[in-house]
Structure 1
Amino acid sequence: MKKNRAPDLTDERIAKILETLDTWKGKLTWELLLDAVQAATGYRYSRFTFAEYPQIANAFSLKKDVLRGTLPHERGEPRDERVRAALEQVSRYKAKAERLEAENQLLNEQFLTWATNAERKGVTMDMLNAPLPKPERDRSKGAK
């Protein structure tokens, strides 16, 4: 019996996976993440598929590091549900901010690599920063 292949990861699916990682609590393994994504989407992806996407692989590694540094039980959890919900939201935003900062660092490194390689090939920063040509939008109006 042939297994059905999971659909390609779109930006929307990647965002959902990153959101799952941002809100993850407890033990995190690739297998547990794959199970959670399968439960949410109905599709089973492989660890290797996720590893091909730097956003997912980096977010996974960062979340593992964060989870290793946190205590399993925090003292003094508030009783007020609204306060707990606000603290959970702060935690999600903090995790997302940490992931985005790490992602931004990688993009800055990639940009520096591209700029250096372009300069070696004789492409100047002025050439790279030149504005793009304006698209010709009103073609059909001129044909009146």
Structure 2
Amino acid sequence: MRKARAPDLTDQLILTVIEILDEWKGKLTWDLLLNVVKEKTGISYSRFTFAEYPRIANAFTLRKKALSGTWTGEPSQPRDAQVRAALEQAERYRVKADRLEQENRLLLEQFVTWATNAERKGVTMAMLNAPLRKPNRDSSEDSK
């Protein structure tokens, strides 16, 4: 009997996976990530599915590098729970900012590629910057 296929990844699910990675502490492997995603979403995906999505693959690689470069000993934790929570939140924001900067660099590279290809095909800046036509929502087939 054939195994049921997991649903396609939506933008929201991709963001969920990336947020899980941003908050990740300790050892990170694809299998561990897949288990946490299954616990949170109830959907079982494969490593190959996640690797097909550049945002997830890049976030995984960046987080893995960040975790491997950390100091092996645990620094002393502040006793105040609010201070600990604030430090953890700051770390999550730092990780998220690093990931977003990497995504931005990739998008800028893609833009340069598109701009170069458009120029080679004779597409002018005026053509690229032309406003899109608004859809004619008032007309209908019945009014004819």
- Kindly provide the CA deviation profile for residues 98-123 of structure 1, in whole angstroms up to 9, marking residues without a partner as x: 00000010000001101100110000
Distance 1:114 1:133 in 2: 22
Query: Structure 2 length as normaliser, TM-score?
Result: 0.91
Distance 2:85 2:106 in 1: 32
Q: 1:130 offset after TM fit, Å?
A: 1.5
- Kindly provide the CA deviation profile for residues 26-82 of structure 1, in whole angstroms up to 9, marking residues without a partner as x: 111111111111111111111111111000001001101111111233323110000
Q: Percent of aligned pairs with the same residue? A: 67
Question: What are the within-5 Å matches in structure 2 for residues 86-105 of structure 1?
Answer: 86-105=86-105
What's the Cα RMSD here? 1.5
Q: 1:139 offset after TM fit, Å?
A: 4.9
Distance 1:39 1:76 in 2: 30
Q: Which residue does the alignment assign to 2:13?
A: 13
- What is the aligned residue count? 141
Query: Does 1:71 find its partner at 2:78?
Result: no
Query: Unaligned regions of 5+ residues in structure 2, if any?
Result: none
Matched residue type, 1:129: N
Q: 1:126 offset after TM fit, Å?
A: 2.0
Q: Which residue does the alignment assign to 1:125?
A: 125
Q: 1:133 offset after TM fit, Å?
A: 2.0
Query: Structure 1 length as normaliser, TM-score?
Result: 0.91
Residues 22, 92 of structure 1: 8 Å contact kept: yes
Matched residue type, 2:60: F
Q: In the superposition, relative to structure 1, how do residues 117 and 82 fare at CA in structure 2: closer, same or farther (>3 Å)?
A: same
Secondary structure, aligned partner of 1:71:
coil
Matched residue type, 1:46: S
Query: Unaligned regions of 5+ residues in structure 1, if any?
Result: none
Residues 18, 59 of structure 1: 8 Å contact kept: yes
Residues 115, 125 of structure 1: 8 Å contact kept: no
Deviating 4+ runs (over 4 angstroms): 137-140
Residues 59, 99 of structure 1: 8 Å contact kept: yes
